[in-house]
Each structure stands twice: as structure tokens, then as C-alpha cells.
Copies of this chain bind each other. A is one copy, B any other.
Amino acid sequence: MSDVGIRDVAARAGVSPGTVSNVLNRPEKVSPATRAKVEAAVRELGFVRHGSASTLRAGHSKTIGLSVIDIGNPFFTDVTAGVEEVASDLGYAVILSNSAGSRAKEERNLLVLAEQRVRGVLITPSDEDLDRLDRLRARGIAVVLVDHPAHCPDQCSVAVNDIGGGMTAVRHLTDTGAKSIVYVTGPLTIRQCLDRRAGAERAYGRPLPVIEMAAMTPRAGQQAAEKLLSEGDLPDAVFCANDLLALGLMRGLTHAGVRVPGDVAVIGYDDIDFAAASAVSLTSIRQPTHQLGRVATELLLDECDNPATHAHQQIMFQPELVVRESTQGQAGRASFDR
């Protein structure tokens, strides 16, 4: 069943297989009359092109790979949605792989992608060692870094200015009156966490006290709250390296009877949907997540489809402060967006 091949279509339409292939791939090359005949035959027979045969002969596929660190994080989900949109519009299929933070798993996934002969790979690398990506590129697989600036200019990347974001966050906290600030973060081996701290300290003018958690989840945020409470004096404000931590932290504080923002102001990072929806809505640093995915995919597919004219770009988006209740100590609930 369904073993309808291009030659069956050709027979039915009374043309040669080559012509059918042309109708499929370069319709402008074939006369309207023939094209119509072939298209009719395709419909009647329910022909579906065999992607593997096509890939094999043509030397390239219509698929791209996407490798993310944590598919459970709304940040990556949003990126993924953007990627999927663009890819699907251009007829590309997306193979998703989740490295779950494990270098080994990422490596295994990349091998699968290489076997699949994907046209290109979008990746948020799980660590700073990018040799394996150069190996991919040596294989003729385009690579675009997502949420990670490229180290050399012969490669595309799409990132968001984390240093700037960190500065903005802390500047907002001090602007609204905070004197003492604590930085709650995930592993400081993660570039994003490091950069945000760097920016934060630049704006703060001196080192920040740090609470470093192993994960970047609501759970970890709640534990961070306990840690914070056990350390004695509460700071005026807390800057969390992502919203998941911030949401957990707020909950932990609230339960201990600490008022947010009355006693402690909290600012997060990412501006995930739940930041606006939580009971005390969370001030956050918005990243153009969806856009990140879209642009990365556009760059990748441009590199694939127009290798001649393609110019590598390292795009750096600017994050944006979104003020909500969690940092409105006195102003109250003036205006909330969303």
C-alpha cells in the first residue's frame, strides 16, 4: 500500500519520471499542460514523495535539528514555537532533541542528527566547549547558536544581552529604593547566570551576595527563600537569574510571612507567561524569546538555501524591563500590563 512511486505517477500521466520530478521540484520548467496532467495523477494516486530517496540523491534534506537544554522550561518552549513556525512555513521539518543539561546526551543527539543528514542545527550548547559544533560544520551541516553569542565571526548566532539585562534589573531595583540586593542564581558554570551577575554587579558598583542553586526551577527558588531567611537580615530586594527561581522564591517568602514587594522586592528574568499570571505579578526582564527562535531559524535556512550570498551574523537582542507588582513597594497596583 502506498508504494506509489514517481514512476507510477509518470505512467499514469503519460510522461517520463524525470518530468514528474521536475513538476515536483521546478514546476516553472515544465509546460502548464503537462504540469496539470502530472498534478492530477499525483492526486489520483495519492502519491507522497519518498523523502529519503530524495535526500539521498539530492544530497541534502528538508529537515533541521533543534537541540535545547531543557524542554520543560517555558523559555525554550517559546523559542521552539518560533522555530517551528518558520521552519514549517518553509517546508522544513524540525527534529527536536533535548539535552537535559547532559553533555553526553547532547552528543548522542547530535550524532542522530548527523545521521539524519539534517540541513542544519540550531543549538543552545550545554557548555562552553564548542568543538563538536565545528565538527558538525566540517560535515557541511550549518550551525546557528541560540541564546549564545558566537565566539568567531564565521558563524551565525542569536543571543540576548545578558550583561545589559543584569544591569537593567539592578538599576531598576536601586531606582525603586533598594539598598541591599541579593543575587539568586543557578549554577555559575552557566554563561547566562554569569553574565547576568556581571551586569548586575556593574550596576550595583560592588560584588553582590550570591545564593547559588543547583537547578533553576520553582522548587529551587523556594529552597533559596529558606536559605535567605536563615541567613538573618533580609535584603531590600532579590534579583533572580530566571523567573522559575523568582516564582519559587516569592512563594517561599510569602509563606514565611514576608511580604512581596512590601518587605522584599523581587525581580526575575525571562518574562515567561506565568510571571504576569502569578498572584503577585512578577517584574522581569523580557527576552524576545519567540523572536529568538524565529530569527535563528531564518538565519539557518538562509545559510542553507543561499550559501553563496549568506553573510554570517551575530545578532544580539536587547532585553527589556517589564515592571509589575513585585517591585512596586509603595506605588501599589498602579498599572499592570497583560
Question: Whole-angstrom distance between the alpha carbons of A141 and B50 in the complex?
Answer: 13
Segment among A90-98, A154-162, A169-177, A233-241 that sits at the interface with chain B:
A90-98
With known contacts A279-B251, A279-B280, A63–B138 Cβ distance under 8 A = no
Q: Which residue of chain B has the shortest Cβ distance to A221 in the bound complex?
A: B277
A103 part of interface (Cβ distance < 8 Å): no
Segment among A14-22, A25-33, A114-122 that sits at the interface with chain B:
A114-122
Contacts of A254 in B (CB 8 A): 279
A186 part of interface (Cβ distance < 8 Å): no
Which of B117, B274, B278 meets A50, CB within 8 Å?
Answer: B117
Question: Whole-angstrom distance between the alpha carbons of A145 and B171 in the complex?
Answer: 50
Question: Whole-angstrom distance between the alpha carbons of A98 and B79 in the complex?
Answer: 13
Count of identical protomers in the assembly: 2
Contacts of A331 in B (CB 8 A): none
A151 part of interface (Cβ distance < 8 Å): no
Question: Whole-angstrom distance between the alpha carbons of A115 and B66 in the complex?
Answer: 19
Nearest 6 interchain pairs by C-beta: A279-B279, A218-B277, A2-B139, A52-B55, A96-B96, A52-B52
Given contacts A71-B84, A251-B278, 18 further A-B contacts (CB under 8 A): A1-B139, A48-B115, A50-B56, A50-B117, A72-B78, A72-B273, A81-B98, A88-B97, A88-B98, A91-B112, A93-B112, A94-B96, A217-B273, A218-B273, A247-B277, A278-B278, A279-B279, A279-B280
Binding site for B on A (CB under 8 A): 1-2, 48-53, 55-56, 61-63, 66, 71-72, 74, 77-78, 80-81, 84, 88, 91, 93-98, 105, 108-109, 111-117, 138-140, 217-219, 221-222, 244, 247-248, 250-251, 254-255, 273-274, 276-281, 333, 338
What are 14 pairs between A and B in contact, CB < 8 Å? Answer: A1-B139, A51-B116, A71-B84, A72-B74, A72-B78, A72-B273, A80-B96, A93-B113, A94-B97, A95-B95, A218-B273, A222-B277, A248-B277, A251-B279
